Structure 1
Amino acid sequence: MNKPFHVHIVDAERANRDALCAYFEAHGLTVTPMESAAELLRRIHRYRPDLVIMDAALPGLSGVQACQRLRAEGDRVPVILLSARNEEIDRVLGLEMGADDLLGKPCSPRELLARVHAVLRRSIVPPGLPMLAMAPVPIGTLQFDIASRCLVQGGQLHVLSTVEYAVLAELVANPGVAVSRERLLSASHSRAEGLLLRAVDVAVMRLRKRVEPDPAQPRYLQTIRGHGYMFVPAAPIDGAALPLQRSRRSTPTGAAASPSMNSV
C-alpha cells in the first residue's frame, strides 16, 4: 500500500488548523499542524512534508517571507499560500516569492484539496513529457537538467521551484514554437478562476534572471507579443536556424506579419 502524502498546515488560528487537519485526514492525507512560520522552518527538515499549506499573513515571520526563505535556501518543497487579501498584487507577490499556488481565504476545503492534489501531481510527474530520459538542455552557460529539475552551471546546482520547472520544461519541450500563456498556466498551476495569466509572466521573469546574460534583452526565453513565450536555443534544430528577435526594419515590405518577440 502506498504511503499517504504528508502535508504541513501552518496557520495561527487553531480553529482553522483543526478544521483543515480533520478534512484532509478524512481524505487519506497525513497532516502535521503548526502555528507559525518559525516552527515550520525549525521542523521542516526533521519532519519532511510532501507539501506545505501556509497562511500568507502569519504573525511574526509571514508565510510569504517563509516561502521566500525556503526558496533562497534551495528548498523546492511545494507550497500553497492562503491569503485573505485576494488582490492581484498580493497573488503576484506570493508567486514571485516562489509559491506553487495561491488561494484566497476563506476557501472551500474541497477546492483546497483539489489544489493540493494538482500541485503534488506536478511536483512528481513533469508536465506533459517523457522528458526525464532527455539529456540536459544547454541554455547559454547553463544546463537544464530535466531529471534533477535543476539548472547546472560550473558544477553548481540552482534548484527550480515547481512552477519555474513546469514553465521551463514546457518551453524546452517545444523549441522554436510559440507557447501560449494559457498553456503555460495550465502546465504550471492548477485550474482555478481568478488565477491570472500574470502568474506566467512572473515565472518567466524569474527564469530570465537565472538564465539570461541580460534579462532586459532576453536571448533564450523570448516573448511572443499578444500570445506567450518561445524557447530559442543557441544551436539550430535539424540544421535550420530558429528565429531570433528581429527589428521591425528587417521585415520586408509586404511580407506577412509574424508575431513580434519582445521582453515582458
Structure 2
Amino acid sequence: MSESSVTEDLVAPQQAARPAAHRESAMIILRHGAEAGRRWPLYRDEELLIGRRDDCDIPLPDRQVSRSHARIFWENDGYYVEDLKSKNGTHLNGEEIVGVAQLEDGDEIQIALRFKLAFVDAGATAPLTLDENLPGLRLDMETRQVWVNNKLIDPPLSLHQYRLLHALWESGGGVVTREAIINIVWPEASGEGVSEQAIDALVRRLRERIDECDAAYRYIVTVRGHGFRLDNR
C-alpha cells in the first residue's frame, strides 16, 4: 500500500498493562477525525509519538501527516508538545509550534487539516464533554454515515455523493481534480461520457445535502481550473 493511501483505520498499538501506581489521569482526546472521542492516556515516564507510521502511539493515516510528526512528553513541571520537523507543521490553539510548547488543560493540537487533539490535564473534569458539540464534518468509514455539526445526514448520501465526499475527505484539504473525480465516482465510465456539467451537478447536490445540517459554512471549495477541495471547520 502506498504512503498516500489514507483509507486505513486508526489502530492503537498493543500495550502491556501498567501498574496503577504509574498511571496518570492526563490524556489526549481525538476531537476531530475518523474516530472522534478516542482517548490516549499520558505517562510521565514515556513520550507519546504522533505520526503516519503504523507503530506510532497515535497513528494518523493521512498523507499530510509526516511519518514522525510530533511528540508529547513530560519534563520537570508539565507536559510539552514538540513538532518533529514535520512537513506541514503542528499547530497549538491555532498557532504553529516552533520547537517545543508547554501544554495546558484544554489546549487543542492540530495535525494536518483532519485531526484535532485535545490535551486534558490530570484532575480535569473535561474528558466527558470535550468530544461533544464539535463543529465540522465527520465521516464514519465503516457505516458510510456522515455528520455535520454532530447532525447525521439523513437520508444517507447517494453512492456517487458519498464517493465524492470520501475522495475530498481523503485528500486532507488538497485539491481533487475533475479527472480524479471521474475515476473515483464513475470508475466504470473510464472518463468517457462524464461531462463537466455532470460533475458540477454532483457537487451542487452534495453541497445541498451538507447545507441541510450547516448552511452557514461552505465545506466544498471550487478551485478554478483545477477541481475541488474540502475546507473543514
TM-score by length of 2: 0.38
Greater RCO, CA 8 A, separation 6+: 2
